[in-house]
Amino acid sequence: MLELEHVVKHYRIGGGDPVRPIDGVSLSVAPGELVVIFGPSGSGKTTLLDLISGVRKPDAGKIVANGSSVTEMSRRQADNYRLHDLGIIDQADALFPRDRAIRNACLKLWLTNRRDAERVVLPLLLRLGLGDRLDQPTELLSMGERQRLAIARALALDPKIVLADEPTANLDKRRTGEVLALLRELCSERGTVTLIATHDEKAPDFADRAYQLEDGHLSLIRSDSETRSC
Ligand SMILES: Nc1ncnc2c1ncn2[C@@H]1O[C@H](COP(=O)(O)OP(=O)(O)O)[C@@H](O)[C@H]1O
Ligand SMILES: [Mg+2]
């Protein structure tokens, strides 16, 4: 479960007016739910995900993830939270290009000192359709394959909360659809809280709920129950 209550984050640069990307955001996401945060570049999507992952501190408000208050975590607790509770899906360019694909997927397992990392991560890579790419240097994979590898890396420790920042930014239309469908399936299969921040107009179709982030506030633009009742 992920809960945000009246979260505020402003940036002050120099003496001018502050930028107010997050200006009173409340949101509750249950296990197995996929929520899309939709907004153009500069609307505050990355700021919102950084607040949830504890990388940035809000000016006000409360963020509770699986019963723990993110806003009150020490630095060490926040590091542990990011390692064990969160699956942060980076953009594909955050992978090590020269390393074999399977090794890129092992990163979080190594951080927890798992010696059998490659064996542990293998079923996930097979699930993501990367079975015949395991030993390829990552730079030889297509962008779609790299994005799936970034998903594998994020999910390797079975996180309860999955955060994806622009996961389809470098993909063509067909690959975008594939990756969004995959995130949807994994969310339902694993019962994760899944949050996707994106400016991709197809993404809300894959969500249980989608919100537009504008002027620091979230407004509901799609909910699955609404769609079903139409
Ligand atoms: N560290 C920062 N210091 C000052 N302003 C920032 C900082 N990070 C982001 N911003 C500003 O906050 C706004 C939202 O940025 P961001 O969260 O990156 O939006 P998005 O991910 O939707 O593109 C933008 O106006 C951006 O310039
Ligand atoms: Mg961003």
18 found inside a domain:
no
The count of domains in the chain is 1
Atom of ligand 1 nearest to the CA of 46: 21
Task: Return the ligand number nearest the Cα of 40.
Answer: 1
The pTM of the whole model exceeds 0.85: yes
Looking only at the bridges linking them, the beta strands covering 60-65 and 68-69 are antiparallel
Q: Is 47 in the pocket of ligand 1 (CB under 6 A)?
A: yes
Atom of ligand 1 nearest to the CA of 40: 22
170 found inside a domain:
yes
Find the domain containing 167 and state its range: 29-56+78-229
222 found inside a domain:
yes
Q: Any idea which of 49-53, 112-116, 155-159, 217-221 has the lowest mean pLDDT?
A: 112-116
66 found inside a domain:
no
HSE-up of 144 (CA within 13 Å, CB side)?
Answer: 14
Q: Is 169 in the pocket of ligand 1 (CB under 6 A)?
A: no
- The per-residue pLDDT of the chain, averaged, comes to 93
Question: Using an 8 Å Cβ cutoff, are 174 and 163 in contact?
Answer: no
Which residues have C-beta within 8 Å of that of residue 192, sequence separation ≥ 6? Answer: 31, 32, 87, 159, 160, 161, 162, 186
123 found inside a domain:
yes
| CATH number of the structural domain spanning residue 123 | 3.40.50.300
Q: Which residue's CA is the closest to the ligand 1 atom numbered 7?
A: 11
The pLDDT, as a whole number, for residue 94 is 79
7 found inside a domain:
no
Q: Is 19 in the pocket of ligand 1 (CB under 6 A)?
A: yes
Residue 123 reports pLDDT greater than 70: yes
